[in-house]
Amino acid sequence: MSSAEPRGPVDSSRIPRYAGPATFARLPRLDEVGAADVAVVGVPFDSGVSYRPGARFGGNAIREASRLLRPYNPAQDASPFALAQVADAGDIAVNPFDIGEAVETIQGAADDLLGTGARLMTLGGDHTIALPLLRAVARRHGPVALLHFDAHLDTWDTYFGAAYTHGTPFRRAVEEGILDTSALSHVGTRGPLYGRQDLDDDERMGFGIVTSADVMRRGVDEVVQQLQERIGDRPLYVSVDIDVLDPAHAPGTGTPEAGGLTSRELLEILRGLAGCRLVSADVVEVAPAYDHAEITSVAASHTAYELTTIMSRQIAAAR
């Protein structure tokens, strides 16, 4: 990026929020600014889901909800869109009938965007997309630390014999050596499993687990301290499945589980990661067909906003 002042969002005090194109946070398109420090990119793909489809529409639902975001983030005392150039890079168009081809397409497009020097804030789409995104990020940073916010482990082996689904990306990532297995954590997991072996396999891969009940009992501050210690100064990728939230806070998702985090808890944990080296992130599994009054999309838009703020602050501090 050049040293020119970043171009920010449309002024909502002059142009109504409901008017104009629904880019993320009403920011400029990537082709309008030429290059970006943080590229917000959608991946409308949900062919890897095991229950309710619809996350292919999640990215645009998040964009619509993000019309309500404002340019100053008081929780982080930062104006992220003034600190770095953030732009909406549109969607990666992928084959909905061929998961293997879709994974390759996502990886190639992510490689291209990262090759410009941008960090990625990806809007899914189902969790299958995390694998090609991690591959692309690891090409530039080596194996990365991972914070995985989710009701589910997503370290299963196969579904119906298929190795690439929304429940398998992190097992594949460990097998491929693109994750730093000394710095892997699930946050917000809960609900029934297929068997004890699921937890044994997950532990063998190197994951630590902070359940949703742990967050409730121990509190956000203690959880954040534990996560910071585990991550250290490693390059960090954050992957947020919106079903980490309780269905009361995120009904619009494909595989809801009772007993999840509140949106407040999720946002506070993310804000606690401000000192970590966040290299890219995703927010996935928003399925607007099941979303009542855009509750899920609003939560997802604020989640992406907090992650974007962290990246923008770090980019500005490095200049």
Reported for 290-293, long-range contacts at CB under 8 A and 24+ positions apart, including other chains, are 290/52, 290/54, 290/251, 290/252, 290/253, 290/254, 291/61, 291/251, 291/252, 292/251, 292/252
Give tens-digit pLDDT for 238-284.
999 999 999 999 999 999 999 999 999 999 999 999 999 999 999 99
- Give the N- to C-terminal CA distance of the chain in Å, as an integer: 11
Residue 239 — φ and ψ, nearest 5°? -120, 120
Give tens-digit pLDDT for 56-109.
999 999 999 999 999 999 999 999 999 999 999 999 999 999 999 999 999 999
Q: What is the pTM of this model?
A: 0.98
Instruction: Please enumerate, by residue number, every residue annotated as part of a binding site.
Output: 127, 150, 152, 154, 241, 243
Q: State the pLDDT confidence band at 4, using cuts at 50, 70 and 90.
A: confident
Query: Which domains does the chain carry?
Result: 24-318 (3.40.800.10)
- The closest of 222, 223, 286 to 249, measured between CA atoms, is 286
Report the pLDDT value the prediction gives residue 3, as an integer from 0 to 100: 58
Q: What average pLDDT is seen over the chain?
A: 97
Instruction: Please enumerate, by residue number, every residue annotated as part of a binding site for Mn(2+).
Output: 127, 150, 152, 154, 241, 243
Give tens-digit pLDDT for 7-20.
999 999 999 999 99
Give tens-digit pLDDT for 107-140.
999 999 999 999 999 999 999 999 999 999 999 9
- Position 31 pLDDT exceeds 90: yes
Averaged over 228-233, what is the pLDDT? Answer: 97
